[in-house]
Amino acid sequence: MTVQDHRIYLDYNATAPVYAEVVDAVATALRERGNASSVHADGRSVRAAIEDARDSVGELVGVPSSAITFSSGGTEANATVIRGLLGSGAVSKVYCSTIEHPSVLEHVDPQRRSSVNGDGQIDLNKLDDALKKQHEPFLFCIMLANNETGVIQPVGEVSALVHERGGLVLCDSVQGPGKLSLGTDSLGADFLTFSSHKIGGPQGVGCFAINTDVALEPMLIGGGQEKKRRSGTENAPGIAGFGAAARVTGGRSDGEQIEQIRDQLEDALLEARPDAFVFGQNVPRILNTTNIAIPGVSSERQLIKLDLAGFSVSAGSACSSGKVSASHVLLAMGVSEDMAKSSIRISIGAETAWSDLEKFVEIWATL
């Protein structure tokens, strides 16, 4: 049984719905019978599908396909880079911004997290001050765009500062593809990480791109797949699906249209409830994301009532239990706990129609 028939899905930043082309690509790959490491024709056929996908992903994110290593997703990609650099001795300390995804944040000592301003952007002056005291080889992790607020980070400037101090940069770019122009050239980062299911591909696959010759100690060893950077038989159907999603995403040109209805949505929400507050509205955000609070109405209550009314949205970072906690991102921006616990995230995508959002506004206004 599928639940999607009568529902309106507004949670693209959690997972974007899979494209039909992706379903086909995954199904085709599942029908193959070889192992990509095998010498025979069956194996070669699977290998070809993986390498085609690598080309497609490389093209989408603006890096040579040879720089890409597939992983089980963004979390593993982040961990492989961070632990790999610590493991190889290339860096001895890891720093990050306070608004990173938990898959980065939890690798980093709270003392080494760099604060953001009230708009949710990393504070470059404070970062500069902190880096001045840095004498050991280090890694700085900065996300391209925040998954909860959509706020875009000045990755190019951060990279310049970090490089000036002799550090390396990991840019968690999971929320970037299809929403922002990418590529190591413009970002200046040494490592980029991506996730397939944020761009309409299958869950359980992602990658990292390396733009430096610094050594990474692999986390998974034995088998030597992915140029020894990530052993284990490749998730060939997942990778094929990721490649298909990259091709569809690269061919889309509806960004402006999505941004327009997002802005229209925010106008309608704020008109319906002038007491509501949209976070990050003063600074550049990715085109599909709105994080809005209704003071005095808990996120928990909003999520439950919206869910029962047929809308899928999210709030903060839900624990695997389903308990809704205050967003660490909003708290890092200096938002009060009460306010942070009254916010929800709406993230839209290609299939979101304005009529869906009109229905949403109607229900949301009554919460």
Partner 1 sequence: MTSELKPNRGSKPRIAVAMSGGVDSSVCAALLVEQGYDVIGLTMQLYDHGAATSKSKTCCAGQDIHDAKRVADKVGIPHYVLDYEKRFEKDVIIPFAESYQRGETPIPCILCNQTVKFRDLIDAARDIGAEALATGHYIRRVEDNETVSLHRAIDQSKDQSYFLFATTPEQLAFVRFPLGDISKSETRALAEKFDLDIADKADSQDICFVPTGSYTGIVDKFRSGDPSKGRFVHVDGHDMGEHNGIEHYTVGQRRGLGLGGEAEPLYVVEIRPRNHQVVVGPRADLAKHEIDVRDVNWLGALGGVPEAETRIQARVRNTHEPVPALVSRGSRQDQAKVSFDEPLYGVSPGQACVFYDGDQVLGGGWIMPGGTNMTVPHNKRNEGAAVLSA
Residues with a catalytic annotation lie at 319
Number of residues that bind partner 1 (CB under 8 A): 14
Q: Kindly indicate which of the ranges 115-123, 237-245, 266-274, 320-328 contains the residues binding partner 1, using the contact rule CB under 8 A.
A: 320-328
By beta-carbon proximity to partner 1, the closer residue of 1 and 41 is 1
By beta-carbon proximity to partner 1, the closer residue of 65 and 325 is 325
Q: Is 157 in the site for partner 1 (CB under 8 A)?
A: no
Shortest distance (Å) from residue 304 CB to partner 1: 5
Cβ 288 vs Cβ 150: under 8 Å: yes
Identify which of 207, 172, 170, 171 has the alpha carbon closest to the alpha carbon of residue 73.
207
Distances (CA, A) of 43 to 32, 48, 57, 331: 9, 9, 21, 50
Q: Is 199 in the site for partner 1 (CB under 8 A)?
A: no
Beta strands 191-195 and 206-210 are: antiparallel
By beta-carbon proximity to partner 1, the closer residue of 52 and 300 is 300
CA atoms of 196 and 282, how far apart (whole Å) = 29
Q: Is 39 in the site for partner 1 (CB under 8 A)?
A: no
CA atoms of 361 and 344, how far apart (whole Å) = 13
Positive or negative torsion for Cα 308, 271, 350, 321: negative
Q: Which two tokens stand for residue 27?
A: 């199904």
Q: Is 323 in the site for partner 1 (CB under 8 A)?
A: yes
Cβ 288 vs Cβ 260: under 8 Å: no
By beta-carbon proximity to partner 1, the closer residue of 253 and 320 is 320
CA atoms of 39 and 80, how far apart (whole Å) = 28
Cβ 82 vs Cβ 104: under 8 Å: yes
Shortest distance (Å) from residue 318 CB to partner 1: 9
Distances (CA, A) of 74 to 78, 295, 310, 311, 329: 6, 33, 29, 26, 18
By beta-carbon proximity to partner 1, the closer residue of 81 and 303 is 303
CA atoms of 207 and 54, how far apart (whole Å) = 9
Task: Among 33, 222, 322, 366, indicate the residue that binds partner 1 (CB under 8 A).
Answer: 322
Shortest distance (Å) from residue 296 CB to partner 1: 13
C-alpha torsion angle, residues 329, 335, 338, 344 (rounded to 10): -50
By beta-carbon proximity to partner 1, the closer residue of 111 and 320 is 320
* Residue list 290-319, contact with partner 1 (CB under 8 A): 300-301, 303-305, 307-308, 319
Shortest distance (Å) from residue 315 CB to partner 1: 11
Q: Is 6 in the site for partner 1 (CB under 8 A)?
A: no
Task: Among 2, 4, 253, 321, indicate the residue that binds partner 1 (CB under 8 A).
Answer: 321
Q: Is 4 in the site for partner 1 (CB under 8 A)?
A: no
Shortest distance (Å) from residue 7 CB to partner 1: 12
Q: Is 2 in the site for partner 1 (CB under 8 A)?
A: no
Shortest distance (Å) from residue 308 CB to partner 1: 6
Identify which of 252, 344, 263 has the alpha carbon closest to the alpha carbon of residue 306.
344
Q: Is 276 in the site for partner 1 (CB under 8 A)?
A: no
Q: Which residues are at the interface with partner 1 (CB under 8 A)? A: 300-301, 303-305, 307-308, 319-325
